[in-house]
Structure 1
Amino acid sequence: MARHDHRHTTRHTTADDDVSRRLLESAAALSYDPSVEIDWDAPLPPEHHGLNPEWSTLYGTRLWDEMTEQQRVTLTRHEVCSIMNTGIWFEMILQQMVLRDQYLNNPASAEFRFALTEIADECRHSIMFARACEKMGVPAYRPHKLVAQAGRAFKSLAKGELAYGGILVAEEVLDVMQRDWMRGEDVLEIVRGTSRIHVVEESRHMKFARQEIRERMRHAGPARRANAAFGIAVCAYVIVSSMVHPGVYKAAGLDVGRALDEVKANEHRKAMLRTSSRHLMAFLAETGLLTRRSAAIYRRLHML
């Protein structure tokens, strides 16, 4: 026990505690219960999309121009639910990593209390996303079997800056998307409502993840920094490439092979991914976690 306390105090500072205390105050003042905040019984207007069309993977392609409006509505609803299911999958990984990180930590510390507050938030978010997908009548899209197994290993082995870096990647990219969805006039209210809740509460989680990464990188040597940068980039590759399941194109009555080809060549989508990753890339550069090797992965994903 004494050994753990020594490790904790050598990396933790008063400024770090202040961040956690402010986040706890924010959580006490501004948190939501999706079961009462969202009208789950309201009908879904048939013409409303699941996400802003501009965020569809096919927007800006010839195939998008050929699609009927009903196909576009169906596609965007399946795309948003695929993204939500990816969110559920990673939130389950996140909760286990945070619990492991806080194991035997000082329960009187603000860091410990906020970490458990974050886990409680993530539980509500996962239930909220699952309920939204059920309401939209979209099946549970799951990651590829190999990706799922990689996630199982990641949640068991990742720690420190690698764990919180993976958390930050997932939250930052989704945050930018959802800020647009919650303002979309032709987007389903159920998506706008879940996005509003997620944006508000995840802003605290992102601040916590950034602070945890800064703590661990404060005295990190070049080798540790390079390994962390590469590991976070690999995590980003798995998350971003898994967000939209190929089954969404079949659900919209499209040729899956052609759709995937057009998504791969879609310059509009590439630009949107770079936009959603701008703040993340700036933070990684600031903390020395954007190396030549990791940048090559981000460029392959069109995040950079």
Structure 2
Amino acid sequence: MTTASGRAVLKDALGPLKDRERTAERLLESSARHSFDPDRELDWDAPPVDGKYFWPPELVSLYGTPLWRTMGEEQRIDLSRHEAASLGSLGIWFEIILMQLLVRHIYDKPVTDSHVRYALTEIADECRHSMMFARMIRKGGTPAYPVSRRNHHLARVLKTVSTTPGSFACTLLGEEILDWMQRLTFPDERVQPLVRGVTRIHVIEEARHVRYAREELRRQMATAPRWERELTRISCGEAARVFSVAFVNPHVYENIGLDPREAVAQVRASGHRREVMQTGARRLTDFLDDIGVLRGAGRKLWQSSGLLP
């Protein structure tokens, strides 16, 4: 039985939290106004523009390294083309995971709730995003870049054992760092128009997904039992470690004529790259710290990932 003092503590914890249904209703209204069909919105038939990058050069993994300084402009652009495909492949992998986590989240909830309706709307968004990324990869003329077999199977375990707050923490991990990069990409005139169009659509629609996940994670961390909060901290930290490794695919370097071992070593030693990743994660890590996710062993895992100083 919940004591009077326990109810008071719970009420205090829930005080600043937004009502779940009202939040979902606002997100549904936004979805009705600002959703896109990439097949119609983007000019898929236009050829790539000569001399333009496929990803902002400062966000390319080797930028500023000794190896980067030896590369000609054509090879740098080619690296950006393959890295855009690698990040698109990473995005598809992550969105497939996210869709499964969302379906699990709503499985036992009333099907007429706005919260459930919005989750289904987000799943539809993620389906379009995955198809959009796949089409962008094909249009760029590169192979797809799946994550390593080990990380593929680690994600399978994560999907099975993840707590509800852990699912939303991992959702934000996958969304917010890529979102930060894409916000720099879509206004950048050095970048191919098609890539800018893809990232613009993704940024606009992902803003709703981030808000949904943040509100639910804040609610879950305020109300979940202690064991669930502790497990969430560990699983989120491990997900951060896996995700940071998956951001660099060694096959990218091999496919443009570089030694993949040397390239990966230079990326890991790059102060610029470390700053890019930590800056991209900062808004998320500040939020996770504020709601109590970055504590204990979980915080150490985040630090070992390189995403948290």
Mapped contact 1:229–1:289 kept (Cα < 8 A) = yes
The equivalent residue for 2:7 is none
For the residues of structure 2 that align with 1:46 and 1:157, how far apart are their CA atoms?
A: 47
Cα deviation, 1:165-190, whole Å, max 9, x if unaligned, reads: 11110001101000011111111111
The equivalent residue for 2:246 is 242
For residue 177 of structure 1, the aligned residue among 161, 181, 189 is: 181
For residue 167 of structure 1, the aligned residue among 165, 171, 186 is: 171
The equivalent residue for 1:104 is 108
For the residues of structure 1 that align with 2:223 and 2:156, how far apart are their CA atoms?
A: 29
The equivalent residue for 2:4 is none
Give the drift of 1:221. Answer: 4.4
Q: SS of 1:218's equivalent? A: helix
For the residues of structure 1 that align with 2:188 and 2:65, how far apart are their CA atoms?
A: 21
Give the drift of 1:36. Answer: 0.6
Match status 1:121 vs 2:125? yes
Mapped contact 1:97–1:159 kept (Cα < 8 A) = no
Mapped contact 1:165–1:213 kept (Cα < 8 A) = yes
Mapped contact 1:24–1:114 kept (Cα < 8 A) = yes
For residue 28 of structure 1, the aligned residue among 25, 29, 32 is: 32
Mapped contact 2:162–2:232 kept (Cα < 8 A) = no
The equivalent residue for 2:48 is 44
Matches within 5 A, 1:133-282: 133-282=137-286
The equivalent residue for 2:94 is 90
For the residues of structure 2 that align with 1:144 and 1:46, how far apart are their CA atoms?
A: 32
Mapped contact 1:271–1:302 kept (Cα < 8 A) = no
For the residues of structure 1 that align with 2:249 and 2:273, how far apart are their CA atoms?
A: 15
Give the drift of 1:79. Answer: 0.7
Of 159-168 and 222-231, deviating more is 222-231
The equivalent residue for 1:73 is 77
TM-score by length of 1: 0.93
Give the drift of 1:199. Answer: 0.4
Given residue 277 of structure 2, which amino acid in structure 1 is its aligned partner?
L
For the residues of structure 1 that align with 2:60 and 2:298, how far apart are their CA atoms?
A: 26
Cα deviation, 1:52-74, whole Å, max 9, x if unaligned, reads: 00001100111101001111011
Given residue 182 of structure 1, which amino acid in structure 2 is its aligned partner?
F
Mapped contact 2:163–2:231 kept (Cα < 8 A) = no
Mapped contact 2:240–2:307 kept (Cα < 8 A) = no
Q: Tell me, which stretches of 5 or more residues in structure 1 are unaligned? A: 1-9
Given residue 163 of structure 2, which amino acid in structure 1 is its aligned partner?
K
For the residues of structure 1 that align with 2:304 and 2:270, how far apart are their CA atoms?
A: 14
Give the drift of 1:14. Answer: 7.1
Mapped contact 1:178–1:195 kept (Cα < 8 A) = yes
For the residues of structure 2 that align with 1:192 and 1:84, how far apart are their CA atoms?
A: 13
For the residues of structure 1 that align with 2:162 and 2:229, how far apart are their CA atoms?
A: 15
For the residues of structure 1 that align with 2:151 and 2:163, how far apart are their CA atoms?
A: 19
* Structure 1 runs of 4+ with >4 Å offset: 10-14
Mapped contact 2:158–2:235 kept (Cα < 8 A) = no
Give the drift of 1:149. Answer: 1.1
In the superposition, relative to structure 1, how do residues 218 and 47 fare at CA in structure 2: closer, same or farther (>3 Å)? Answer: same
Give the drift of 1:115. Answer: 0.2
Give the drift of 1:50. Answer: 1.3
For residue 293 of structure 2, the aligned residue among 289, 295, 303 is: 289
TM-score by length of 2: 0.92
For the residues of structure 2 that align with 1:168 and 1:248, how far apart are their CA atoms?
A: 26
In the superposition, relative to structure 1, how do residues 14 and 288 fare at CA in structure 2: closer, same or farther (>3 Å)? Answer: closer
